[in-house]
Amino acid sequence: MDIVHTPVLLEETIQYLAPRGKAELMVDATMGEAGHSQAFLSRFPGLRVIGIDADSTIQAVAKERLAEFGERVHFYSGWSQAFFAEYPAELKRPDTVLADLGVSLYHYEKSGRGFSFRTDEQLDMRLDVSSGLSAADLVARLPEKELADLLYNNAGERYSRRIARVIADERQHGTITTTAALASLVEQAVPASYRHGPMHPATRTFQALRIAVNGELSRLPDLLEGAFRVLEPGGRLGVITFHSLEDRIVKNFFRVKNRDCTCPPEAPVCRCEGRRALNILTRKGLVPAAAEIERNPPSRSARLRVVEKVLDEDGQ
């Protein structure tokens, strides 16, 4: 078994999400190679874990890694929001939910699906290869304006229109099916100063396509809503984000549920008689220390936000 991914903010995650009682249940909503889950299971012998992942290949790695824990860990193959939507009424509600939204280093280095432009691979980027459109499909099918909007909205690519124009011109002559071909087109499209900047010019284009292919932003609100709904009152939900777009969604979701009043802003008088559904435990979120960033550079953009559920939203 070859593990390539290092879990980020591990000690901070354990500090805030450690079991508060006996025989607790934790849902690892984006298990990946199971780095976080292995640490929790090792340190807390009474803890049970349900691990979720849409990628059956990486889930096989997690199963092998966690085999020593036997019946203390169970697995769900699919998207997290679907798991929470189907959560069985007879199953114990989780005391803890962790969602690490980052894409595992495994996918960049081992999957061969074109997540990275550092090696020439097929332009796929799907976590679940059994369904959905690949990155190559989006590059081939999206109208030029929609492609430009995707690059700008998902990654803030300042040269999105120029890149989309070059891609649209190129695909008239043939399909763009590899990471090397796409990265080369992006380099052609942008100014020389951008090509020789501190970041590879194709970084944002690849990020934007990956987000779109896997519905990372569109799935997130349902994941948060579902996880919070099934969470036991008094339980904790921790989310690790890696870019500002997803962090904004998480921050706003927590902020809304932290309000005592849920009436619309234009209402002259509060009539909802509401109570806040959660308490925010990490106001600005936790970021890695300098030592962790030096040891594990991909952690540099990570941010952990943790909340504690006060009550179900039906008031129970």
CATH code at position 136: 1.10.150.170
Q: Which domain holds residue 267?
A: 10-107+216-309
Q: Which of 168, 191, 213 is the last residue before a domain boundary?
A: 213
Q: Are residues 208 and 155 in the same domain?
A: yes
Q: Are residues 190 and 48 in the same domain?
A: no
Over residues 167-180, the pLDDT tens digits come to: 999 999 999 999 99
State the average pLDDT over residues 126-149: 96
Q: Are residues 84 and 146 in the same domain?
A: no
Q: Are residues 17 and 93 in the same domain?
A: yes
List the structure tokens of 76: 């769900």
List the structure tokens of 314: 């039906």
The pLDDT value recorded for residue 272 is 63
Over residues 26-65, the pLDDT tens digits come to: 999 999 999 999 999 999 999 999 999 999 999 999 999 9
Q: Exposed, middle or buried, 73 (CB in 10 Å: 0-12/13-18/19+)?
A: buried
In a domain, 296, yes or no: yes
The pLDDT value recorded for residue 316 is 47
In a domain, 116, yes or no: no
DSSP assignment of 21-55, as one string? Answer: SSS-EEEETT-TT-HHHHHHHHH-TT-EEEEEES-
Q: Are residues 99 and 222 in the same domain?
A: yes
The whole-chain average pLDDT of the chain stands at 94
In a domain, 123, yes or no: no
Q: Are residues 84 and 168 in the same domain?
A: no
In a domain, 4, yes or no: no
**pTM for this structure?**
0.92
Count of domains forming the chain: 2
- Asked which of 25-29, 229-233, 312-316 is least confident by mean pLDDT, the reply is 312-316
List the structure tokens of 142: 């999206």
In whole angstroms, give the CA distance from residue 222 to residue 83. Answer: 11
